[in-house]
Amino acid sequence: MHPNISTPILSYMKQLESQGLTNIEELCDHLYEHYLRQVNQGLYSNGRYTQAGSNVTAKVQSALTTSSPKALLEKNQEQESQECILWCVNHYLGLNRNQNVIDKVCASVQKYGTGSGTSALSGGMSTLHKQVEIKLQQLVGKESVLLFPTGFTTNLGCLSALPGKKDLIIFDRECHASIIDGVKLSGKKWVTFKHNNLRDLEQKVSKYKGEYQNIFVVVESAYSMSGDLAPLQGIVDLKQKYKFLVYVDEAHTFGIYGKNGAGYCSHLGIVEEIDFIAATLSKATASIGGFVALKSKYVPLLHWRATTYTFQACLTPGDAAAILASLEEMENDPSLIESLHKNNQYMRRRLKSAGFDLGTSASPIIPIFISDVEKLQAFNKELYSRGIFSVSIFYPVVKPHEGRIRFVVSAAHTIEQIDTTVNILQELGLKYGVIKQAMVAA
């Protein structure tokens, strides 16, 4: 029997597994059939892609039902695209389309070539990579910085390597998959605490502090699914009382908070109190890569125990050049960050006045919560047909009744694009009962 067509792929997979289906061939047959049904009905928002790369606007194409590469190319040539305003890309400052950044990337490829060829410890590093590390170290304000190939592998490598045999890891239950995978790969004891709940965190630390040599508390400064900012000052206060180590992932705050984009820890003035500051370089700095800023004494340990550093090739010279050029733009043009936060506040005010549920979000990630999965799928399908592109998020990525569509605000979005998006959201919000007429009138 077919599941409801609106059932998310991962939810359907869990249903099949709970019914005892364990054969990978049979499981994938069921999932692929369900996937094709969703694609044919325009409900698979995750399969859409841009024709010419991410921007604030782009021609977007939907997932194709064919598995033949030749047919894929032939159909791609004929397929009509949808011109959209994009709200699902994390280029917060719009620097991926900045001409100065593009020019410096092109020049770096001429000088350094296209790839690094091997890992940092095997000779893959260049002076360009070292310049990135030095620039990041100076910006964030720690003794050392280690540059990783991606933000995901930064967390995966660091959190699998740092805890010792008798250590405990306590992390926020809404942490990113890279954090969870790193914690699990460490093989050490771990527990979670309720999202942004300082009381629950203190109870866990107090309960376990006598059983372990060290406790690592791991959080994100801003959470990618909810847009919530972490109570970092409160965590630092608890650290003074209980003497644990703090690891903060600034993936969604580095480059957009603090002086010259130094991050949320810098914005709060608590860099010294945070033991490990990690971030990705794929968002505000419009490239790829990741880093961890920390005391120099930890560097040799990570060199040889963080396998994603030891055995993974360095990011390309072009990527490193994009990071450096982006950091320079952030330093030379403070209006980039200012424009981002103005756009964020403006869009939030309009959405809240319309009556949309934005949860407790505050960062430039704005979630609109729609708990009913069928309504969420239909809402986003029509949103796309009206030229607004984001993706649906539902269980098990988030809790069963916390489905949402995220809108990631950029400095490059115009007021006109925000107004167009909010006006369409209001129309559909009324149509699908997500908001009420009285709220719109207010």
**Domain carrying residue 34:** 1-41
One domain, residues 305 and 363:
no
One domain, residues 320 and 341:
no
One domain, residues 151 and 62:
no
One domain, residues 287 and 189:
yes
Q: Does residue 361 have a pLDDT over 90?
A: yes
Q: What is the CATH number of the domain that holds 349?
A: 3.90.1150.10
Q: Does residue 350 have a pLDDT over 90?
A: yes
Residues in the chain: 442
Q: What is the CATH number of the domain that holds 215?
A: 3.40.640.10
Encoded amino acid at 103, one letter? D
**pLDDT tens digits, one per residue of 157-203:** 999 999 999 999 999 999 999 999 999 999 999 999 999 999 999 99
Tell me how many domains the chain contains.
3
**91 falls within a domain:** no
pLDDT of residue 241: 96
**93 falls within a domain:** no
Per-chain mean pLDDT for the chain = 93
Q: How far apart are CA 324 and CA 104, in angstroms?
A: 9
Q: Does residue 41 have a pLDDT over 90?
A: no
**158 falls within a domain:** yes
pLDDT of residue 442: 46
One domain, residues 320 and 405:
no
User: Would you place residue 394 in the very low, low, confident or very high pLDDT band (cuts 50, 70, 90)?
Assistant: confident
**pLDDT tens digits, one per residue of 106-145:** 999 999 999 999 999 999 999 999 999 999 999 999 999 9
- DSSP structure string for 405-434: EEEE--TT--HHHHHHHHHHHHHHHHHTTS
**pLDDT tens digits, one per residue of 196-243:** 999 999 999 999 999 999 999 999 999 999 999 999 999 999 999 999
What is the arithmetic mean of pLDDT over 242-271? 98
**pLDDT tens digits, one per residue of 47-97:** 888 888 889 999 998 766 555 455 555 555 555 688 999 999 999 999 999
One domain, residues 199 and 290:
yes
Q: How far apart are CA 389 and CA 180, in angstroms?
A: 29
* pTM for the full predicted model: 0.93
Q: Does residue 282 have a pLDDT over 60?
A: yes
Q: Are strands 82-86 and 57-61 parallel, antiparallel or unpaired?
A: antiparallel
User: Would you place residue 8 in the very low, low, confident or very high pLDDT band (cuts 50, 70, 90)?
Assistant: confident
pLDDT of residue 16: 93
Per-residue b/e over 106-128, b at no fewer than 16 CB within 10 Å?
eebeeebeeebeebbeeebbbeb
